[in-house]
Amino acid sequence: MKVIVVGSGIVGASAAYHLAKKGAEVVVMDQGHEGQATPAGAGIVCPWISREKEDHPDRYAVAKAGACYYPKLIAMLEQDGVTDTGYSLVGALAISDNDEVLSEIEEKVKSRKAETPEVGEVRRVTAEEAQAYFPPLKEGIAAVYVSGAARVDGASLRDSLKRGAEKHGAQFYSEEASLQVAEGRVLGIRTSDKVIAADSVVVAGGAWASRLFEPLGIDIAIEPERGQIAHLVLSGEDTANWPIIHPMEGHYLVPFEGSRVVAGATREAGTGFDYRMTAGGVKEVLDEALAVAPGLKDSTLKEVRVGFRPVCPDNLPSIGAIQSVEGLFVANGLGSLGLTMGPYAGAVAARLALGEEVGLDLSPYDPLRHAGEKVEN
């Protein structure tokens, strides 16, 4: 069976890997747009801690499945000889200066642990303990520690999935493509100089996916949300095992190897594909970071990355078949949880393309459920 995957971000690379590993002939096409979300993502894999507006049960269901899928995926890649995945279990601190808020989040996370052991240890820590975990943290801020939180470098994992897919025969190309459809069935894609036929096509084109469907008169209601995220370097500090800082109000901080702390990120609707680092965006990110971690004030601002998250009006992912076109599937719209959900969503898309059971009720994620709607600011 031959399957084309359009898009080679975290979702497309995962779909390609799972398809190729199962013996499918796989071709991946990616135009290489500026501002792809995968390398710009913070890399938090911790759906256990969430704010009230992010607690939609259908969103949490995919996020939970995504977080729980990571250990299995990493083991699969290691069996294929791919080890530089950028994934690490480091824990997280949900922080707040309001004891009532901390009590609420502690209760919520413990209730989630009751049904999902992967949440790990959950315990209240004092402000002194929190600062020992993350030295730049502001004094006097207590926290809830959650050991089951992980971080992932999106670009590293994407590249690992691509290497794994190539090992099993997948082919990757960088070129613009259009969908080829006739008589209610997808035929493949057209590039600048040829048509590539396939039995199925998986569209994982991120924020640009809607453009592929417009010539077919299909509206999947995906729009870009710009995010700006700062990478800070704390010279001489070993940040590799510091936990994620997850304020219950405000922006997050994600430490990585190499004395690096990622601070972000803005959520800017209505920007279109305006690929720019803006003064206001950078100020917002740095102000938020220094408010909770003033110890970062002497860090080096190494870079600011800009990415476009693919979002739907209801903030739920779009995963499933385009019912009017046989053999055409979508895995997209993961929004701010792209790196949490992405590898799992790609695996689900691969099963769909192969006609296998997916183990998930996809009705809430129908790609056409919001046809004609627009994302509100």
Q: How confident is the model at residue 292 (pLDDT cuts 50, 70, 90)?
A: very high
* pLDDT on residue 214: 95
* pLDDT on residue 52: 63
Quick check: 163 and 82 in contact, CB under 8 A? yes
* pLDDT on residue 372: 53
Q: How confident is the model at residue 377 (pLDDT cuts 50, 70, 90)?
A: very low
Residue that the structure tokens 């897919």 belong to = 165
Backbone angles phi, psi at 356, to 5 degrees: -95, 165
Q: Which domains does the chain have, with CATH numbers?
A: 89-149+224-311 (3.30.9.10)
Residue that the structure tokens 């801690």 belong to = 49
Mean of all residue pLDDT scores within the chain: 95
* pLDDT on residue 375: 38
* pLDDT on residue 18: 98
Residue 151 scores a pLDDT above 80: yes
Q: How far is CA 97 from the centre of its chain?
A: 29
User: Stretch 22-28: mean pLDDT, rounded?
Assistant: 98
3-state helix, strand, coil in the chain (%, to 5): 35, 30, 35
Quick count: other Cβ atoms within 10 Å of Cβ 289? 25
- Alpha-carbon distance of 266 to 226, in angstroms, equals 7
- Alpha-carbon distance of 335 to 115, in angstroms, equals 25
- Alpha-carbon distance of 261 to 257, in angstroms, equals 9
Give start and end residues of each alpha helix (H) in 96-135.
99-115, 127-133
Quick check: 231 and 243 in contact, CB under 8 A? no
Indicate the helix (H) or strand (E) that contains 362: none
Residue that the structure tokens 């998986």 belong to = 202
The sheet with strand 185-190 has its strands ordered as 178-182, 185-190, 195-197
- Alpha-carbon distance of 286 to 94, in angstroms, equals 19
With a pLDDT cut of 70, the percent of the chain lying above it is 98
* pLDDT on residue 373: 46
* pLDDT on residue 175: 94
373 token code pair: 């709607």
* pLDDT on residue 371: 74
* pLDDT on residue 284: 97
Q: How many residues does the chain have?
A: 377
Nearest to 341 by CA among 317, 358, 364: 317
User: What's the pLDDT tens digit per position in 216-269?
Assistant: 999 999 999 999 999 999 999 999 999 999 998 889 999 999 999 999 899 999
User: What's the pLDDT tens digit per position in 297-343?
Assistant: 999 999 999 999 999 999 999 999 999 999 999 999 999 999 999 99
Assign 3-class secondary structure to 198-244: CCEEEECCHHHHHHHHHHHCCCCCCEEEEEEEEEEECCCCCCCCCCE
SS3 of residue 86 by DSSP: coil
Q: Widest CA span of the chain, in angstroms?
A: 66
With a pLDDT cut of 90, the percent of the chain lying above it is 94
Residue 376 scores a pLDDT above 50: no
* pLDDT on residue 374: 44
- Alpha-carbon distance of 90 to 226, in angstroms, equals 27
User: What's the pLDDT tens digit per position in 31-61?
Assistant: 999 999 999 999 999 999 987 666 799 999 9
Q: How confident is the model at residue 291 (pLDDT cuts 50, 70, 90)?
A: very high
User: What's the pLDDT tens digit per position in 157-191?
Assistant: 999 999 999 999 999 999 999 999 999 999 999 99
Tell me which DSSP letter residue 324 carries. Answer: T
Backbone angles phi, psi at 182, to 5 degrees: -150, 135
Nearest to 35 by CA among 229, 213, 179, 192: 229
SS3 of residue 60 by DSSP: helix
Quick check: 186 and 200 in contact, CB under 8 A? yes
